[in-house]
């Protein structure tokens, strides 16, 4: 049961999300997004029969003029009656974000562009550059393996002025069990040769090249976001445990570049510890907030057991379905309202809530003020 929410009037910057579909979503899309899996549904299983699905039918249905708790089939049918822009605007603007920090590197052909996203959400959008997407674009050019490192550096430098952060999906492409050191130029040339020998269009999975991208971004200085914890079936959960990052955190501490551990669930307590002891580490429980739904307050509380309040950020990790951006905001506001009064002096809870909701993100990504 979702229970009753007491939304607090908390300003939010969604510091990690994606854009939304430019086409309507059918039942299959809902199942894939809600279960984080493209596999066929087993008998007896529905994406709506999950904590996320129950929360969606409880809190999103009224936004489409349906009764709370309607069936999944009724929800999908009603959504399809509306223009997709109308649905996207209701949920994106309904989340009342002060800003969106958007990873534009995943499946952009299926999603609306950043200008349209900004208009739908009625909020400024700030870009994040996905390192592997840039590297794979460089690989598809005519560059030779011995020129790859320079060409990647140039491509990244071209894009950095338009962005507030970069992002690594090392967790998806290899895992965190890597040599933490910056790879030598010779080893990067050899590794790129290996990668190209499998075809220029092959997916980048070589750990040495992946480490090279990460170190190049860290040396460029913008905050680097790292996917950690759960995600879809493309990753190995045990190798996405942020605890495995300790050697890399030790090796990169002196650079001072902020590293932002995204999602972290189910390792949020370990992530909170890392944020406590490493000055350059920041954390969220983004993707988990809509997925664990009525348990959001518990997950946030576990992160805040050790994470300094000035290191915790809000994100929805909304992707494709604007309902996720909406639910993330709704559930996070309620979780903050529930958790903070027991962790702080009640008189100080509003100040700490502003830190985790908006001000930490504004400071970290150097975002301009948008409201009081
Ligand atoms: Zn994401």
Residue range of the domain that includes 210: 12-25+88-364
- In this prediction the pTM is 0.94
Cα separation of 364 and 294, whole Å?
Answer: 29
d(CA 331, CA 190): 47
If one counts every other C-beta atom within 10 angstroms of the C-beta of residue 115, the result is: 9
How confident is the model at residue 7, as a pLDDT?
55
Would you state the pLDDT for residue 38? 84
pLDDT of residue 371: 53
pLDDT score recorded for residue 105: 84
- Predicted pLDDT at 4: 43
- In angstroms, the CA 131 to CA 168 distance is 6
Residue with tokens 């490493």: 278
Q: Give the pLDDT score at 2.
A: 34
CA 71 to ligand 1 center in whole angstroms? 28
Give Cα separations from 254 to 128, 218, 257, 279, 292 (angstroms).
23, 11, 8, 10, 36
Q: Distance from the CA of 325 to the center of ligand 1, in angstroms? A: 11
DSSP state of 333: H
Only one residue has tokens 């008189």, namely 347
Question: Per the domain annotation, does 219 fall within a domain?
Answer: yes
Residue-level pLDDT at 368: 87
Residue at 5 is within a domain: no
188 Cβ contact list (under 8 Å, min separation 6): 148, 149, 208, 209, 212
Per-residue confidence (pLDDT) for residue 280, from 0 to 100? 98
Helix (H), strand (E) at residue 66: none
Q: How far apart are CA 102 and CA 123, in angstroms?
A: 12
For residue 118, is it within any domain?
Answer: yes
Within a domain: 260: yes
Q: Is residue 45, in this structure, part of any structural domain at all?
A: no
pLDDT tens per residue across all 372 residues of the chain: 233 445 568 999 999 999 999 999 999 898 888 888 888 888 888 899 999 999 999 999 999 999 999 999 999 999 999 999 999 999 999 999 999 999 998 888 899 999 999 999 999 999 999 999 999 999 999 889 999 999 999 999 999 999 999 999 999 999 999 999 999 999 999 999 999 999 878 899 999 999 999 999 999 999 999 999 998 888 999 999 999 999 999 999 999 999 999 999 999 999 999 999 999 999 999 999 999 999 999 999 999 999 999 999 999 999 999 999 999 999 999 999 999 989 998 888 999 999 999 999 999 999 988 655
Would residue 371 count as lying in a domain?
A: no
Strands 97-103 and 125-130: parallel
7 C-alpha to ligand 1 centroid (Å): 24
CA of 78 to the centre of ligand 1 (A): 27
How far is ligand 1, taken at its centre, from the CA of residue 286, in Å? 8
How far does residue 319's CA lie from ligand 1's centre (Å)? 7
pLDDT for 276-298, tens place per residue?
999 999 999 999 999 999 999 99
Give the pLDDT confidence score for residue 5 in this predicted structure.
Answer: 46
60 in any annotated domain: no
Angle at 186 between CA 182 and CA 191, to 5 degrees: 80
Give the distance (Å) from ligand 1 centre to CA of residue 103.
Answer: 7
- Hey, is 54 helix, strand or coil? helix
How far CA 364 is from CA of 39, 111, 167, 258, in Å, comes to 37, 27, 14, 8
User: What are the φ/ψ torsions at residue 139 (nearest 5 degrees)?
Assistant: -60, -30
How many angstroms is it from 322 CA to the middle of ligand 1?
A: 13
pLDDT given at position 107: 83
Whether 35 is in a domain gets the answer no
Instruction: Report pLDDT digits (tens) over 305-346.
Output: 999 999 999 999 999 999 999 999 999 999 999 999 899 988
* Number of structural domains in the chain: 1
The CATH number for 234's domain is 3.20.20.140
């Amino acid at each position: 049961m979702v229970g009753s929410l007491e939304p607090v009037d908390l300003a939010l910057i969604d510091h990690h999300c994606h854009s939304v579909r430019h086409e309507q979503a059918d039942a299959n899309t809902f199942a894939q997004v809600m279960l984080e899996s493209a596999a066929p549904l087993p008998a007896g299983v529905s994406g709506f029969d999950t904590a996320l699905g129950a929360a969606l039918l409880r809190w999103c249905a009224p936004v489409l003029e349906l009764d709370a708790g309607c069936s999944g089939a009724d929800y999908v049918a009603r959504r399809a009656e509306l223009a997709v822009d109308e649905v996207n605007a209701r949920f994106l603007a309904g989340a009342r974000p002060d800003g969106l920090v958007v990873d534009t590197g995943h499946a952009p052909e299926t999603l609306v562009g950043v200008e349209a996203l900004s208009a739908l959400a009625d909020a400024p959008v700030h870009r994040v550059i996905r390192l592997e997407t840039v590297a794979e674009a460089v690989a598809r050019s005519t560059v030779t393996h011995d020129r790859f490192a320079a060409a990647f550096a140039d491509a990244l430098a071209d894009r950095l002025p338009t962005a507030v952060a970069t992002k690594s999906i090392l967790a998806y492409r290899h895992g965190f069990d890597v040599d933490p050191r910056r790879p030598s130029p010779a080893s990067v040339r050899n590794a790129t040769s290996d990668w190209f020998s499998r075809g220029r269009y092959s997916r980048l999975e070589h750990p040495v090249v992946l480490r090279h991208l990460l170190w190049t971004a860290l040396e460029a200085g913008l905050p680097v976001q790292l996917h950690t914890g759960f995600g879809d079936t493309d990753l190995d959960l045990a190798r996405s445990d942020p605890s495995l990052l300790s050697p890399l955190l030790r090796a990169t501490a002196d650079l001072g570049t902020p590293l932002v551990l995204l999602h972290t669930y189910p390792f949020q307590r370990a992530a909170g510890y890392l944020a406590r002891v490493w000055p350059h580490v920041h954390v969220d429980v983004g993707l988990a907030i809509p997925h664990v739904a009525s348990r959001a307050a518990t997950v946030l509380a576990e992160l805040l057991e050790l994470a300094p309040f000035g290191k915790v950020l809000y994100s929805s990790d909304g992707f494709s379905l604007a309902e996720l951006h909406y639910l993330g905001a709704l559930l996070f506001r309620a979780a903050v309202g529930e958790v903070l009064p027991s962790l702080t002096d009640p008189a100080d809870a509003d100040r700490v809530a502003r830190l985790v909701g908006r001000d930490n993100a504004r400071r970290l990504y150097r975002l301009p003020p948008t409201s009081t």
